[in-house]
Structure 1
Amino acid sequence: MATSVAPQPTDFSLDVMGRYVCNGLDEALASTDTAKHADARPFDLIVLGGGSFGAVLASHLFFNDTSRTHRTLVLEAGPMVLPEHTQNLPPQLNPGEVWGVPWNSDSPQTWNQRFPGLAFCPGGRSLFWGGWSPYFIDTELDGWPKAVTDDLTTPAVPAHNPTRSYLDAAAEQIGTSQTNDFVYGPLHEALRSRLYDGLRSRAGAGQTALVGNRGTPMTATQPKEQLLRELDAPLAVQSASPRPGFFPFNKFNGIQLLIRAARLAQTEAEQSVVGGPAERDVKKRLMLVDNTKVIRLERQGGHITKVVTNKGTVDVPAGGHVFLACGTVESTRLALATLPNAHGLIGRNLMAHMRSNLTIRLPRASLGKALAGIQELAVSTLFVKGVHTHTDHSTGHFHLQITASGVGAMGIDSEAELFKKIPDLDTLDRFRDLTDEWVVVTLRGIGEMTGDKTSADPRNRIALDHQGPQGPFDYGQPRALVRLEAQDPADPAGRNLALWEAMDQATDEIALMLANGGPIQYLGSGGWQNTPPGPNARRDTLSSTHHESGTLWMGEDPSSSVTDVWGRLHESDNLHAVGPAVLPTIGSPNPMLSGVALARRTGDHLVPQPLPPAPEAEFRYLFDGTDKSFSLWRGVGGGAFALIDGAIVPQPVGGELGLLYYARQSFSDFILRLQLRAGSVQDNSGIFVRSRDPRRPVPDRTDPTKLHAYVNQAWVAVHTGFEIQIDDTAAPDGLDKHRTGAIYDIDTGGVPGGQSYQRPAALVPGHWTDCEIEVRGDTYTVRMNGAQTTVFTNTDPWRGKPANADPASGYIGLQAHTGMVGFRNIRIKEL
């Protein structure tokens, strides 16, 4: 069925967002069909999964590609659901609406089979969560490849002048570069001060050290204010604008990145071609295709050649790349089903986070004078890092996410006012009328698991379920089979459970710090109680964090890792993985920050922002192959002009002349150098010099007081400047004055006032030719590949005026006439 070209109505809404952001697979495949469109190009960057990290990667690839060399296709299994973070909608929605578990589990304990699964929609799980994104501390990166840790922790971007690490760049994107930028007030200050005092006076670290969010002990010598900031929460929310005129990023989610990239791709396409939706799709550099499930990949040797979906097959061109961004489990399934897995490593090292929750409440009176006279206490968010030394002297890591809220007598939700948009004054007024009696505090512990990379059949792993109870899953393919347990026979020291116990003990200790010797109550299964609840009442199942990771871990040695330091699978030359699957160790942080950082790093490696070579001495670029310099040119007349692979390519239409001119400046005497490329021997185009500003009317030759306004403004350049012709057929009459390298329509053959012309070597279609145009006074000299083709001296006072004689003249432009002649490396030296 063909994709509808118009937004479709439902019972409640009109799907404008989906239609103007997404494409159907039929549209995407048609845009690559050279039988329908001679200039069609394949998608050479194919991202499987449009969730949290697929969205980051795809948008970063798009924005990096300033020469518009690549086309990116995002294939997402689910439909467009929401255009931003859900905020106050039900976090899970209804079963089957968005969430699904496309794998089986053989974990012995039933509670470890309760995976929340995947959010099948563009943006993925980032639409439903996104809070806490702390940095790694140094010991959490032990065992990672040095090249990766260097890029994550020391200045590495931008490549030409590194000023920040990849983790820093990711923190800027998701809004954690400033901690607690929207949480403040008396309650926050009071609790933070208590926590600081408690950690500072803590009698010995014992086996577990409790430190700030960057690993700094509260006993360090830094100023107190700096240490207090270490206890602030690294929330993925930015409440202040990053620059004047911009809105704040607010709660981070991936869908906004995809929406922006898809709409900019559409705008580019509309400006680059004349025609309908099909012609515009050909020029669209990024397409998001939703409701399209990837079934399997096909390969020849180590090269992925096809992506097979439930709606059709996408060919992967030579030089193309495929990215696994379907979540850890599904990405691992595809890798297992596609590659030989000669070392048996794919699917090992499965990790998740161990999570506990402790909720306490403190009477507001116990916080002392700091809260006197304040009715509504609002919220506080705090963060503590834990480093535990095991009996075998290895280290384990956890952190505590602490949220607090002032509530009434019946309140139990410490996050009741956190991450909520308050859009109206009436709601604000109701908050002002609250009289908070209690402070409810939730301490959520997140602890790392240790992965098993060496066992032939590890306890925690992902495999293919060839013997599933219902046979192969979708479309004849086996499901993934997931086993995830905290107690691992391969870990005789019992580090996972020991860390979980240490994290729970630290949680109880910090709860007492916040109470500061005053009354404290704990929330248990039966309500408020005076003693801490036991493990079963506070510990979540392993799969509840959505943080499955590690099964495609990065490394330098193919015999001991699955992917290389850039995320490319060792057994393939063009299959890459992004997201938590590539983490060698999980550490305690939410994998959002590391996943974003590594996705951006992979994108920079495969599609680095082009840096044009420096032009010759005294020359400067008018067009260097990037969209920044392309934006300085303006089009008038018929047709359009596209930036494709670092070149300006005219898109003629119906024989109507078009012009693209450099609008930033006009020129007097100069040497202009550029490269041109014909697509076929019939192509016809030209380069205009010293023409009048096409936006202005042209004075009449017989009466300068009369101004002539052109219907097609491209003809202003023809009548007021001079064109260096590009046409090996010398249409329409075969005369040299209409041939490549000549000044168009100026007589040749030694006639008075004519040009001295010599034919250059024929243009070779598909190959670049150097062209140089020198204009000194009234003399025009043209050279092709270093050989002079013509010299001409102008005697017409109405044409070819320099800018110093007429500020409205002296413009340089390119012609859209017949065929698609490309232009690149346009640089000028003013004389």
Structure 2
Amino acid sequence: MVTIRTPESTTFTFDVLGRYSCNTLQEALDSQRTDHPDQGDARPFDYIIVGGGSFGAVLAARLFNLDVSHRARILVLEAGPLILSEHVQNLPPDFSPPPKEEPGSVWGVPWQPKSPKDWNNKFPGLAFCVGGRSLFWGGWSPYFIDSEVADPSWPASVVTDLTTKVLPAGSQNPTESYLDTAAQQIGTDDTNDFISGPLHTALKQRLFKGLTARAGGAAADVLTGNRGALNAEDDLEAPLAVASASPRPGMFALNKFSSVQLLFRAQRIAQAEAQAAARAETPENQGRLPEIQNSKKRLMLVDNCYVTRLERSGKRITRIHVKYRGADGQVDVPASGRVFLALGTIENTRQALVAVPEKPEIGRNLMAHLRSNLTLRVPRDSFAGLPPELQVSALFVKGIHTHPVDNSKGYYHIQITASGVGQLGMNSEAELFKKIPNIEELDQFRDLTDKWVVLTLRGIGEMVGVKSSNPQNRITPGAPDGNGVPYADVRLETNWDDPADPRITDNADPKRTKDNDLWDAMDAASEELAKIFANGGTIEYLSRPNEAGNAHWQDTPPATDLRRDTLSSTHHEAGTLWMGDDPNTSVTDPTGRIWEVDNLYVVGPALLPTIGSPNPMLSGVALTRRTADKLAPTPLAVTPEANFISLFDGTERTFQRWRSAGPGTFALQDGLLVAQPSGDQTVFFYAAETFTDYVLRLQFRLPGPVDSFGKVIGNSGVFLRFRYPHTRWPDVNAVQPLAQGNPAWVASVTGFEVQIDEQGRPDFGDKHRTGAVYGIPAGQGGEPQEQTFQAGPVLQPGTWYEFEITVTSDPAGDQYVSKVGPVQAGQPTVFTQVASFTKPADKYQNRGLAPAAGNSSGYIGLQAYISKVAFRHIRIQEK
């Protein structure tokens, strides 16, 4: 049942968005039930996604969009509520929900830090809400450079897909990699498309000149551009997930990306499909239409549904245990169902540790990012020609460090933001990302005289993951939580305390590791860039860049301890469920499936064998899309038949060419057209084109059951050469008044119907049986014989049969011939002629006319009348 029928009012809002984007748990469970006659085609969920955040939403949307034959249902279980419809920085300033541990906060930490140093235990937690961290992230999304994914622990097929042109799949001339398509989706394919102006140009020129003039040397770090190249100034543009211009006419600009937008679009389509497939209130459906629509909804999102654990039997996850609004619940996983862990890295790992305890590698290889901030200012007048109004800039530098101990490489990048500010300004992002087009505010900027250019150089460096037994940095099961399920104990440090730690660069100094060495190199590179921007002139540094309210300007860079962020403050934990080609040396296979479980998959940064320096949003989206592509339902498009064109091939592409007339409709389900009767008859007609003379072939199936005489129950038909139903035809209304209230009767009055009905209702006569031209006398009961009829094979419920219907114009009378035969897999159908009708010269003058101007005739359609008759493989050969 539908548990909440209308949007609810709170103190502040009317929750239309929540009611029509989300479902309750009970609604989702009820939607799978087949114990009501009008939900006989209800289906279980084929894909169950645990987590509706950054990557769960991407996965759900991608699976949904790829399912062009509507073969699968998707369920998303999100622990938090729906709070925002898009990225917080697309909204007016300071629209963020309260921070962690404050009332009303969406931020939570469902794990236990276990590092001995307090500053390594300040994990920022998860955003428990639909869209997750994608609603709040900064937007910087650089690519991996090739050497960052050269480690042999990366699966070769994944590296190829991420970095080389493999898409569109199956194309002879692929044009994109998976990173390319992910960049398009989140808006980083066009770097800095919303940043421009004299300040940006001046800073970019000065930075390019300074980097290309570096003396360098064999031991110096490489400082280069966004994609690992520094051939032109534009290589320094910032890869920000912002799209300020529409990618093509008719589409809105994305602004800053969040995954909620993708999920909402898929939800809107799913709801529209369900309403179209069950749209009428009939007496037998009275009051149950919402339930019937839910049973047809391909994508459902249940928020406020916290998954406590996955239940496993053998090599399959069979049940998902949840807490829904404080009550225990469960979602059964069908035999063919797949489960996806789409939570944050630590929560994904916790669930995997509980579900697959025999896998010792789970929890190793924990990585995050090292982060430092350096804020400085240089006089505005050191740049000639800057106008006295709003000026911002965003630039990007990639760093490659060589570790002397073994010549291995470490990677970092420096995100550069700049703003022109007044004498007291300290925030380079004050005028970046956070402005809305308020004309009064823009007028104020025209009157400003900025004295300083403030720049923030934010360094992001990779940590080294350790995959060997008992690494220092890892996730392990801890004490039980309130649901009796172990917490995740998390340890993450850059220092070493084990002499066998492979990160060591000095056996006598615990602070000498590859991580700390890289951090030092990254901080030194930031200071070098600061001097390039100063260009030999005045430069002042903020003494405490992480505490601007307690800081002052000074002539020397601040101590590194004052500019470094605590570990894991970036929300970039990764690597603990890394993918690989060998089940003995990795946790998941190249699609993200945990090796020991047949139906449990992972998406997100937990899959990364190495983290590199990029924010894992881009790589996470790319890998998620790749997993969806590998696991999406195969379209049920049929092989084209020689000399025939397809009117319906099992996909949305051809389904969208059909239209309904009447109270019912047809639904696209599992690559089939399935009748959805609703009282009076309905015609579902091919609206894209009309036809004169042709051979029409199509396959159909009656669902049953059978009556007391052994006849399968079901009534449908194929309408031929009728007029456009949605026009009011005065001559039609005069003949059949029902057409005024139901346009489907236009097909009956102006065309001919080849019948599907084993019972031959209403009189059991041949002229009303399967294959007959409906209502045309067949020589029974004293009627003349206008059609010849010979019964075809006795139809069985659930069995596919095929019609071949030939329509031919002839001066002596148009001819209609129907044949039928059982469908044999892999074999051509053997047809039996059932009916032949030649239209008399003196009867049916306004029926079955060839196409003419004004939509007067020539349409082909299917009838929805009694039972959910299914059709497929509809094709036509014109004569």
TM-score (norm 1): 0.95
Distance 1:806 1:27 in 2: 46
Please identify, of 264-273 and 34-43, the stretch whose mean Cα deviation from structure 2 is larger. Answer: 34-43
Report if the CA contact (8 A) 1:107-1:483 is conserved: yes
1:281-305 superposed Cα distances (whole Å, 9 cap, x missing partner): 1111111110000111112211111
Q: What corresponds to 1:415 in structure 2? A: 429
CA 1:821 to 1:2, structure 2 compared with 1: closer, same or farther past 3 Å?
Answer: closer
Mapping 1:440-479, distance limit 5 Å: 440-455=454-469, 457-465=470-478, 468=479, 472-479=480-487
Give the secondary-structure state (helix, strand or coil) at the position aligned to 2:724. coil
Please identify, of 83-92 and 26-35, the stretch whose mean Cα deviation from structure 2 is larger. Answer: 83-92
Q: What corresponds to 1:129 in structure 2? A: 137
1:729-775 superposed Cα distances (whole Å, 9 cap, x missing partner): 22233222222222222233597543222222222322322221111
Report if the CA contact (8 A) 1:340-1:571 is conserved: no
**Candidates 787, 807, 819, aligned match of 2:832:** 787
Mapping 1:588-599, distance limit 5 Å: 588-599=613-624
**Candidates 848, 852, 856, aligned match of 1:808:** 856
Q: What corresponds to 2:126 in structure 1? A: 118
Report if the CA contact (8 A) 1:658-1:817 is conserved: yes
Q: What corresponds to 2:825 in structure 1? A: none
Give the secondary-structure state (helix, strand or coil) at the position aligned to 1:382. strand
Distance 2:581 2:759 in 1: 56
Q: What corresponds to 1:60 in structure 2? A: 62
Distance 1:701 1:767 in 2: 37
Aligned partner letter, 1:45: Y
Report if the CA contact (8 A) 1:699-1:708 is conserved: no
Report if the CA contact (8 A) 1:130-1:253 is conserved: no
Q: What corresponds to 1:677 in structure 2? A: 701
Aligned partner letter, 1:361: R
Report if the CA contact (8 A) 1:272-1:640 is conserved: yes
Q: What corresponds to 2:760 in structure 1? A: 730
Distance 2:293 2:2 in 1: 17
Report if the CA contact (8 A) 1:473-1:479 is conserved: yes
Q: CA deviation at 1:787?
A: 2.4
Q: CA deviation at 1:10?
A: 1.6
Aligned partner letter, 2:98: L
Distance 2:457 2:392 in 1: 14
CA 1:147 to 1:517, structure 2 compared with 1: closer, same or farther past 3 Å?
Answer: same
Report if the CA contact (8 A) 2:732-2:746 is conserved: no
Q: CA deviation at 1:377?
A: 4.8
Q: What corresponds to 1:283 in structure 2? A: 296
**Candidates 341, 349, 355, aligned match of 2:365:** 349
Q: CA deviation at 1:700?
A: 3.1
Q: Structure 1 residue 150 and structure 2 residue 160: aligned?
A: yes
Please identify, of 86-95 and 290-299, the stretch whose mean Cα deviation from structure 2 is larger. Answer: 86-95
Q: CA deviation at 1:142?
A: 1.4
Report if the CA contact (8 A) 2:464-2:515 is conserved: yes
**Candidates 262, 280, 295, aligned match of 2:308:** 295
Distance 2:272 2:853 in 1: 38
CA 1:474 to 1:727, structure 2 compared with 1: closer, same or farther past 3 Å?
Answer: farther
CA 1:707 to 1:339, structure 2 compared with 1: closer, same or farther past 3 Å?
Answer: closer
1:28-72 superposed Cα distances (whole Å, 9 cap, x missing partner): 111111113222111111111010111111111111111111111
Distance 2:870 2:234 in 1: 55
Give the secondary-structure state (helix, strand or coil) at the position aligned to 2:577. coil
Mapping 1:370-385, distance limit 5 Å: 370-371=385-386, 374-385=387-398
**Candidates 85, 89, 110, aligned match of 2:94:** 89
1:408-466 superposed Cα distances (whole Å, 9 cap, x missing partner): 110000000111232321111112111100011000000001111112x211111110x
Mapping 1:497-576, distance limit 5 Å: 497-525=516-544, 526-576=551-601
Report if the CA contact (8 A) 2:638-2:873 is conserved: no
Report if the CA contact (8 A) 1:353-1:545 is conserved: yes
Please identify, of 660-669 and 709-718, the stretch whose mean Cα deviation from structure 2 is larger. Answer: 709-718
Distance 1:409 1:699 in 2: 80
Please identify, of 719-728 and 19-28, the stretch whose mean Cα deviation from structure 2 is larger. Answer: 719-728
Q: What corresponds to 1:687 in structure 2? A: 718
Q: CA deviation at 1:16?
A: 1.7
Aligned partner letter, 1:501: D
Distance 1:595 1:501 in 2: 28
Distance 2:698 2:516 in 1: 67
CA 1:313 to 1:701, structure 2 compared with 1: closer, same or farther past 3 Å?
Answer: closer
1:477-500 superposed Cα distances (whole Å, 9 cap, x missing partner): 111111111124422232111111
Give the secondary-structure state (helix, strand or coil) at the position aligned to 2:532. helix
Q: What corresponds to 1:250 in structure 2? A: 255
Distance 1:92 1:332 in 2: 27
Q: What corresponds to 2:447 in structure 1? A: 433
CA 1:436 to 1:805, structure 2 compared with 1: closer, same or farther past 3 Å?
Answer: closer
Unaligned runs of 5+ in 1: none
Give the secondary-structure state (helix, strand or coil) at the position aligned to 2:129. coil
Mapping 1:816-827, distance limit 5 Å: 816-827=864-875
Distance 1:611 1:148 in 2: 27
Distance 1:390 1:327 in 2: 31
Q: CA deviation at 1:600?
A: 0.8
Distance 2:741 2:574 in 1: 62
Distance 2:378 2:596 in 1: 57
Aligned partner letter, 1:267: A
Distance 1:701 1:10 in 2: 53
Distance 2:796 2:168 in 1: 38
Report if the CA contact (8 A) 1:262-1:287 is conserved: yes
Distance 1:417 1:309 in 2: 43
Q: Structure 1 residue 237 and structure 2 residue 251: aligned?
A: no
TM-score (norm 2): 0.90
Please identify, of 132-141 and 656-665, the stretch whose mean Cα deviation from structure 2 is larger. Answer: 656-665
Q: Structure 1 residue 620 and structure 2 residue 656: aligned?
A: no
Report if the CA contact (8 A) 1:329-1:548 is conserved: yes
Mapping 1:17-416, distance limit 5 Å: 17-36=17-36, 37-87=39-89, 88-89=93-94, 91=96, 93-94=98-99, 95-96=102-103, 97-143=105-151, 144-161=154-171, 162-205=174-217, 206-216=219-229, 218=230, 222=231, 227-273=232-278, 274-275=280-281, 276-311=289-324, 312-342=329-359, 344-367=360-383, 369-371=384-386, 374-391=387-404, 392-416=406-430
Count how many residue pairs are aligned between Structure 1 and Structure 2: 811
CA 1:643 to 1:124, structure 2 compared with 1: closer, same or farther past 3 Å?
Answer: same
Distance 1:247 1:533 in 2: 44
Percent of aligned pairs sharing the same letter: 56
Report if the CA contact (8 A) 1:696-1:709 is conserved: no
Distance 2:633 2:377 in 1: 52
Q: What corresponds to 1:5 in structure 2? A: 5
Distance 2:97 2:124 in 1: 9
Give the secondary-structure state (helix, strand or coil) at the position aligned to 2:190. coil
Distance 1:395 1:562 in 2: 24
Distance 1:605 1:295 in 2: 28
Aligned partner letter, 2:669: I
